Structure formats: structure tokens, C-alpha cells
Amino acid sequence: MNATPDATATATPADSGLYGRLLKDPASMIDACYFDAYRLERDQIETVQLTGARQRFAQLRPRLSVLDTLAAEQGIDEIRELNDLAPLIYAHTVYKSYPTSFIEKNRYDRMTRWLSGLSVCDLSQVRTEGIDSVDGWLDALDEQTPLRVFHTSGTSGKLSFVPRTKEEWRLQILISNQIIRDHWGPASGPDLVREPRPLIVPGYRHGSANTQRGNDFMVQLLAGGEHNALFLYPHMRFSADVASLAGRLRVAEARGEQGAIELAPALIRRRDEIAALERDRPQALNRFFELAKGRFGGRDVYIAALWPVLYEWAEDGLKRGLHHVFGPGTVVFTGGGPKNRVLPENWREQVHEFLGTSRIYEFYGSSEVMGICAKCEAGHYHLPPTLITFLLDKETGKPLPRIDGQTGRLALFDLLPASYWAGLVTGDKVTISGWDRPCACGRLGAYLHPTIQRYSQLEGGDDRILCSGAPEAHDKAMEFLAHLAE
């Protein structure tokens, strides 16, 4: 969208109401005008972040054994300044530090004990007898606890499991609505909670990956119910077991060890079902898009999809002479860029022409945190004040100075989750500005430049992530998690 925020709004500092509420509770962001976050001065943002970090550390250290172990190993008993937080930010490997044998041998009682070290929720009474799949284990956690655990794709051969609660998922969907409503200025977009609209998602309705876990709340809160939602695979589940198997097979193939993996008959059937869906995906997408046009054509809708899928849809539709398929008030929530696909220079314009809207919200985010960085008209991704940002030196893992134009490894700590320690050292090489001068769009606060690269791609697939602080402290914390499960 090419709208420009209200000039008088950008020139006025945020009122003391938002600043005061964030000092008391970062989650109060869900009750605010999201645009007010872009009016906070640097000293206000850093005060909110330092206060929130102290609160979260005090609240969670006594209840999270892995955090307590990590802090004790590094001699950190309090957060005096923001950089004191950096050594306590997890590498992504902490979320997959369980022994693979737990899954291979169906020891989901041990998987549950391992997970308990990462969550404040009491998991001691979870019953796992007879569970013989990751999907079954995640379903049991859904039914017996406040959690809605999600997993990553498992490209390294192991799935990561993050113990977010159902309430935290609800908050995340509400925040996405706030961004749609207020990102271009107060009330500049529709409020989908107050006025739900048709939801179109070219993906799975069910599953435990990050991309499916919020579907229930998105359907309920933003679409007004299942009758108003359309998914590519409305009755299919994206299986965690198949995702885990796919990762293990990729690793085994790279090592020449494909025959060493034993496959259960039920898993083979699920794998074959997913493979059949993927083979039919181009035809299924065409059928899905025809159905979407038939049901909701000409209406303002909400579309949640990554750029490559949107372009695939637009390319096919424009070839068939279809233009402005949906209403001009249609909202698109997207991100991810072209995903290594070679697209024409005007690929974005083609998407706009086909869909009939330029009201497109692009974002940058990481699965393990709830904060979303929305893209402005100057092409930058703006960090919300509840998302504490560090740039780490790639060679040492130490925090770099907060000055404009600095480049390094991105590390994040999210103040929104209250049930787990939401810090993550990413694999992304980024440049950050906004510390010294506002963005050209007028918003205050730190922002990411649009060129974001994976260190693993830059270095031929090998990325040794160094956390801030003592590496042996992080190793001992993960060892502690593994021992906790025994």
C-alpha cells in the first residue's frame, strides 16, 4: 500500500497513556492504537524494554529451569542494562535439544518432561500412554494443558517445538489485526475484529506448524466463523510426523544413509498422502482460486499468503484475462519475498492488478517470537517496542553498538509471551537503523533494512551460531534440558 501516515500524527510523541501502559505490562499493546508505537522516542522505547526485560526475568527465572541454569552458569542475577539480556537469548537449537530417540521410540513421556523445562505450564499430569506419533503427542498437549505447541519445518533433520499458550496465540492474531487497522495511521485500515470478512488461505486448515497454529483464532476472530473461511486443504492436516520424517530423510540422503531409517506403515501412508497432495498442488491451486473467485469475487476479503503463491495465482489469472477479482478494500497479509524464485520486475504490480487491491501488508518475523515487523512505504521493516533487538558480531557473538547502519546477526527478545522465555538468536544477517534518525516514512524507532540474508546461504549451508556470553553456558543449559527428560 502506498498510503502515507498522517503527518501531524508522526510529528507528535506518543501520549503518556501508551508509554505508561507498556511500562506496566507489554501485553497492553493489544489495547492500543498500533501506530502510537511508532511515535515513541528512543529513550521511551529503551525504558519500556529494560523495564519489561527485568519483569520477565524476575517472573520466569524461578519457573523455567533452563533459564535458571543458563543465568546461573553466566553469573547473571539481574538485568541492569539491555545488553545484560543478550547472553540469555537462546540459540534456536534449544527448542530441539531433545534426543531424537525419544520420538523414534515413542517416549512422549520424556518429550513432555523435556518440554516442561521451557514452559511455566504444569505438564506433570499429562498422560501419554499409547501415543505413537508426534501428532498424537501435540494433540494430547492441546487437550490436557493451556499450551498450543507449534513446530518448525525441521529442515535440519529435527523439529523445534515452541510451547506457546492458547491465550498467546489469540493475542498474536489480535496484534495482526491492529497492524492492519493502524499501520498506515490511526484507523487507516479496516478493523477485522469488529467487522469480520471472508478469509482466504491457500494452505492447510489443520496442523501444528507455525503457519497453521493460529488458524482457529484467525477464523474465529477475523472471519467470523468457518462459513466465511476458505482453505486450500480444508480437511487435511499438515503432519508433524511427516515434516520430521522429511527432515530426517534429507539429512540421511546427504550422508548416503537413506536405508538406515525405519518407517512405520502408518507413517508411510501419511507421507504418501502428503506427497500426492504436493504432486496435485498446481491443479489444486487452480481449483481453489476458481472457488475463491466464485464465492467471494468482487468482495473485500482478507488474504493470508506468501508472495510466491500470490504471484502464482496472479500469473495464471492474468493469462486468462482476469483483473480486479476482489474488492478494492481487500487486505493482503504477506511476507517472505520471492523465495529464490526468479520473478519479473513488475511481479508486485501484477499481483495488485489481479487481486484489485494495493492494500498489502508485508512483514518480517521469526516463528519463535510473537512480534511482527511491518514494512513501511520506504521499504523498511519497523520493530515494535515490545521486541528488543540486538545485532551480534558474527565472529564473537557480542552485541554491537546501537548506531544507524550497523550490520550483524539479528537476535530478538519478545516481551509479549509470559509463559516462555521468548529470546532467539536468528540465522539472519541484517542492517538496522532508526536509533539516531527517524525512517524516511516519519516513524520513530528501530527498523530493518530490506536486504535480509541467511548466513547459511551466504556460507554454503554452514552457519555456526554464536550466542552472546559463554558458549559453554548455553551447552550446559541444553544438557540440563536433556537430563530433565531422563
| Mean pLDDT, range 110-126, rounded to an integer | 96
One domain, residues 124 and 216: no
| Mean pLDDT, range 107-131, rounded to an integer | 96
Q: What does the pLDDT read at residue 360?
A: 93
Statement: residue 60 has pLDDT above 80: yes
Nine cell digits for residue 300: 473485500
Residue 320 is assigned to a structural domain of this protein = yes
Helices (H), 61-189: 65-74, 101-104, 108-116, 134-144, 166-182
Statement: residue 152 has pLDDT above 90: no
One domain, residues 435 and 460: yes
Confidence of residue 480 (pLDDT cuts 50, 70, 90): low
Neighbours of 485 (CB within 10 A): 19
Confidence of residue 10 (pLDDT cuts 50, 70, 90): very low
One domain, residues 16 and 116: yes
One domain, residues 158 and 252: no
Bridge partners (DSSP) listed for residue 387:
414
| Mean pLDDT, range 44-54, rounded to an integer | 97
Statement: residue 380 has pLDDT above 60: yes
| Mean pLDDT, range 231-239, rounded to an integer | 91
Mean pLDDT of the chain: 88
Q: What does the pLDDT read at residue 261?
A: 59
d(CA 273, CA 115): 29
Statement: residue 419 has pLDDT above 50: yes
Which helix (H) or strand (E) segment holds residue 426: the answer is strand 423-433
DSSP string, 206-225: EESBHHHHTHHHHIIIIISS
Question: 406-419 burial, b for 16+ CB within 10 Å, e for fewer?
Answer: eebbbbbbbbbbbb
Residue 150 is assigned to a structural domain of this protein = yes
Q: What does the pLDDT read at residue 441?
A: 97
Confidence of residue 87 (pLDDT cuts 50, 70, 90): very high
One domain, residues 351 and 453: no
Q: What is the CA radius of gyration of the chain?
A: 22
Residue 93 is assigned to a structural domain of this protein = yes
Tell me: the pLDDT tens digits for 202-224? Answer: 999 999 999 899 999 999 999 99
Name the residue among 383, 393, 392 with its Cα closest to residue 448. 383
Q: What does the pLDDT read at residue 1?
A: 46
Confidence of residue 353 (pLDDT cuts 50, 70, 90): very high
Nine cell digits for residue 459: 556460507
pLDDT top residue among 454 and 214:
214
Q: Is the pTM of this model over 0.75?
A: yes
Residue 375 is assigned to a structural domain of this protein = no
One domain, residues 353 and 434: no
Residue 369 is assigned to a structural domain of this protein = no
One domain, residues 184 and 163: no
One domain, residues 436 and 481: yes
| Mean pLDDT, range 157-167, rounded to an integer | 92
Q: What does the pLDDT read at residue 444?
A: 97
One domain, residues 337 and 389: no
Query: Is 364 strand, coil or helix?
Result: strand
CA 268 to chain centre: 29
Last residue of a domain, one of 364, 389, 404: 364
Q: What does the pLDDT read at residue 449?
A: 97
Out of 134-138, 204-208, 313-317, 453-457, pick the least confident: 453-457
| Mean pLDDT, range 258-284, rounded to an integer | 72
Q: What does the pLDDT read at residue 316?
A: 86
Tell me: the pLDDT tens digits for 422-452? Answer: 999 998 999 999 999 999 999 999 999 999 9
Work out how many domains the chain is built from and give that number: 2
Last residue of a domain, one of 311, 330, 364: 364
One domain, residues 164 and 179: no
Q: What does the pLDDT read at residue 13?
A: 46
d(CA 227, CA 233): 15
Statement: residue 4 has pLDDT above 50: no
Task: Give me the amino acid identity at 230.
Answer: L
pLDDT top residue among 266 and 304:
304
Confidence of residue 338 (pLDDT cuts 50, 70, 90): low
Statement: residue 53 has pLDDT above 50: yes
Domain enclosing residue 245, as ranges: 170-364
Q: Are 473 and 91 in contact (CB under 8 A)?
A: no
One domain, residues 396 and 344: no
Confidence of residue 16 (pLDDT cuts 50, 70, 90): low
One domain, residues 271 and 151: no
Tell me: the pLDDT tens digits for 288-307? Answer: 989 999 999 999 999 999 88
Residue 372 is assigned to a structural domain of this protein = no
Q: What does the pLDDT read at residue 456?
A: 78
Residue 311 is assigned to a structural domain of this protein = yes
Residue 371 is assigned to a structural domain of this protein = no
Statement: residue 245 has pLDDT above 60: yes
Of all residues in the chain, the percent with pLDDT exceeding 70 is 86
Out of 80-84, 274-278, 365-369, 471-475, pick the least confident: 471-475
Last residue of a domain, one of 299, 333, 364: 364
- Residue 207, by phi and psi: left (phi above 0), alpha (psi -120 to 50) or beta? left
